[in-house]
A and B are shown apart, each in its own frame.
Chain A
């Protein structure tokens, strides 16, 4: 028996103390040049990723982008064709899943149907030589953690979807992983339960100080839960950064679009001055803060204007606002706190979100003037 991470004393004192201020954070997971092919298709291009101890990292991307494969490679359920995987400094590339100090919570319900809730949670600890009383203490603590005390004797077939995923989470945590991997654990649940569990997961992460690697295709989920979001596409990392960073400064049109910014178009740099770019977007002239590295005058760039960067004002009949873009509301979606408009101007459609507030919701067909805050216009290399 190789040691698969020394069992921690208990859940409360999970032992993964946050590093003291000033000391360098330990690396929990390091992937170096990890590559994966399925027959002829490349699932992962050589890919590097580092996850710090205690971090909540989310791999975000559309289905088929390789995020689940990446997670399964960390778990040891999939073998990389090339590259190395190390966990807390130990190279585990050649270790099978049962000898890695990580645990995975699956997307589907994967509780053992022949065991009770408590027996499911005790599965990991009971594989090791651990005293019965110690195991049952672990089970109780884990049930407490996922807010299901008293459910130990239930059959798993009696549980709802949300309860089942809570138990699956408890089962993984009771196994004392050094890194917890979560593969879209909430995607099969109702919206309300999903929201609730998102909050609880984040709370559990905070309380245990455990390293979480989370996979989802839901950008809202990724943004709201993570310390760091890793956006993936076609087996590559498009961008990694804090939620605010990737939202405010998407580095590629793919990232911008995936985060729900659909106002993406190409433009030519006319002039560069004082940290600002003058841009020619065909029928549209605009200004934007200059990105680094600075594009050359005359070069092509991709421009993104987030839906929430716009102001929209209705026009009276015959009125024309000079200098602004004038268009017509062609679609209205009221979602409570926000109103999403589709504004059509000749040759282009703009997606605009405004705070609903107490202002009137504009009707379809209303003529409006559109303006945006220049400092929020995003410029990137053409994709």
Chain B
């Protein structure tokens, strides 16, 4: 066994491939094979989720786009994500700047409370919110979903932006002041432009998180469904191949966000 392994290793090394490459390759395969299968079956001509695939077709995509439930779900998810992103970007930026740049009483408590939802199971947040909304007689709707998403995504935004702010040279603000800039001018002309790329990048993380959030949404949703809930209700009834098509669309959307974010960060200075 050992000699076999050694021989294999030697042969791989001759081609410039180490065992690490093999290991990483297997890991990536494990991660992405299910996704590949999903994408593949979304183009399958038959309704059977079984190999070999008998033909390729776009019929599931046609079905998806002719379903008003799916279209509504996509629109609802986009709307929730957009509003969540905007709210979190505003609140999160103010909070991160406040906690990281100023010393004030209870700043550690504030930071802890912002971060806590990241440590709580979504299930717990969902149930807690459901009870809370009931207590204050707030009818469940996309608004309550947005509130849930803001609480859930704020920690991630806050963490990314805090990391950027810690690398921020406070002397740049001193220079701005020294050059005659008041507090508002200083923020507008120095601080904001410098942290803007980080704000945009973290906002995209929020969009991606909100876009496919299920647990909290499940407890706080009203009459309208978001896309993950549409998928869930379909998959629950029967294994419908159109779910594969929706899944592929979601993967494509997330990929676009990731690519855009990376490009955006690469093009901006750090």
A-B interaction? yes
Q: Interface digits, B151-186 against A, CB 8 Å rule (1 contact, 0 not)?
A: 000000000000000000101101111111110010
> Does residue B269 face the partner (Cβ distance < 8 Å to A)?
yes
Contact A98 B194 (CB under 8 A): no
Question: Which residues of chain A are within 8 angstroms of B194 by Cβ–Cβ distance?
Answer: 112-114
Judge if A380 is at the interface, Cβ distance under 8 Å.
no
Q: Is B190 an interface residue (CB 8 A)?
A: yes
Contact residues, A88-125 vs B (CB, 8 A): 96-99, 102-104, 106, 108, 110, 112-114, 123-124
B134 at the interface (CB under 8 A from A): no
- Is A110 within 8 A of B182, CB to CB? no
What chain B residues lie within 8 Å of A303 (beta carbons)? Answer: none
**Interface membership of chain B positions 175-208, coded 1 if the CB is closer than 8 angstroms to chain A and 0 otherwise:** 1111111100100011001100000000000000
A98–B178 CB distance below 8 A: yes
Number of interface residues of A (CB under 8 A): 24
State the CA gap A97–B180 with chains docked (Å). 7
B193 touches A114 (CB 8 A): yes
Are the CB atoms of B185 and A127 closer together than 8 Å?
Answer: yes
**Complex contact A157–B269 (CB within 8 A):** yes
Give Cα A112–Cα B191 distance, bound, in whole angstroms: 10
B175 to A110, Cβ gap below 8 A?
yes
Within the complex, the shortest CB–CB distance from B170 to chain A, in Å, comes to 10
A123: chain B residues at CB < 8 Å are 176, 179, 181, 189
Instruction: Tell me if A75 is interfacial: C-beta within 8 Å of chain B.
Output: yes
Do A127 and B181 touch across chains, with their CB atoms under 8 A apart?
Answer: yes
Closest chain A CB from B137 CB (angstroms):
48
Q: Given A106-B171, A110-B169, do A97 and B177 touch, yes or no (CB 8 Å)?
A: yes
Smallest Cβ distance from A102 to chain B, in angstroms?
A: 8
CB pair B180–A106 under 8 Å, yes or no, is no
State A127–B175 Cα separation when bound (angstroms): 13
Whether A124 touches B180, Cβ cut-off 8 Å, given contacts A106-B171, A114-B193, A114-B194, is yes
Q: Are A128 and B180 in contact (CB under 8 A)?
A: yes
Chain B residues with CB under 8 A of A77: 174, 177-178
A175 near B179 (CB under 8 angstroms)? yes
A112 touching B178 by the CB < 8 A rule?
no
CB <8 Å contact, A171 and B179: yes
A4 within 8 A of B: yes
A104 and B178 in contact, given A112-B172, A112-B190 (Cβ under 8 angstroms): yes
- Which residue on A lies nearest to B268, using beta carbons? A114
Q: Which of B169, B176, B179, B194 has the most CB of A within 10 A?
A: B179
Could you tell me the distance between the alpha carbons of A345 and B269 in the complex, rounded to whole angstroms? 62
Q: Nearest Cβ in chain A — how far from B167, in angstroms?
A: 11
A110 to B172, CA, bound (A): 6
Interface residues of B in 247-270 (CB under 8 A from A): 269
Task: Report the nearest B residue to A97, measured CB to CB.
Answer: B177
Could you say which residues of chain B place their CB within 8 Å of the CB of A102?
178
Which A102-157 residues have C-beta < 8 A from chain B?
Answer: 102-104, 106, 108, 110, 112-114, 123-124, 127-128, 157
Q: Are A98 and B180 also in contact (CB < 8 A) when A113-B194, A113-B269, A114-B193 are?
A: yes
Task: Tell me, in angstroms, the Cα distance from A282 to B70 when the chains sit together.
Answer: 101
Task: Give the distance in Å from the alpha carbon of A375 to the alpha carbon of B123 in the complex.
Answer: 90
Whole-angstrom CA separation of A127 from B188 in the bound complex: 12
Nearest CB in chain A to that of B190: its residue: A112
Distance between Cα atoms of A98 and B178 in the complex (Å): 5
Ordered by A's residue number, 16 sampled pairs between the chains whose C-beta atoms are within 8 Å are A76-B178, A77-B174, A77-B177, A97-B174, A98-B182, A102-B178, A103-B178, A104-B178, A108-B171, A110-B169, A112-B175, A114-B194, A123-B176, A123-B181, A127-B179, A128-B180
Known: A77-B174, A110-B172. 16 other contacts (CB 8 A): A77-B178, A96-B177, A97-B174, A98-B177, A98-B182, A103-B178, A106-B171, A110-B169, A112-B175, A112-B194, A114-B194, A123-B176, A123-B189, A127-B185, A127-B189, A175-B179
Chain A residues near B (Cβ < 8 Å): 4, 75-77, 96-99, 102-104, 106, 108, 110, 112-114, 123-124, 127-128, 157, 171, 175
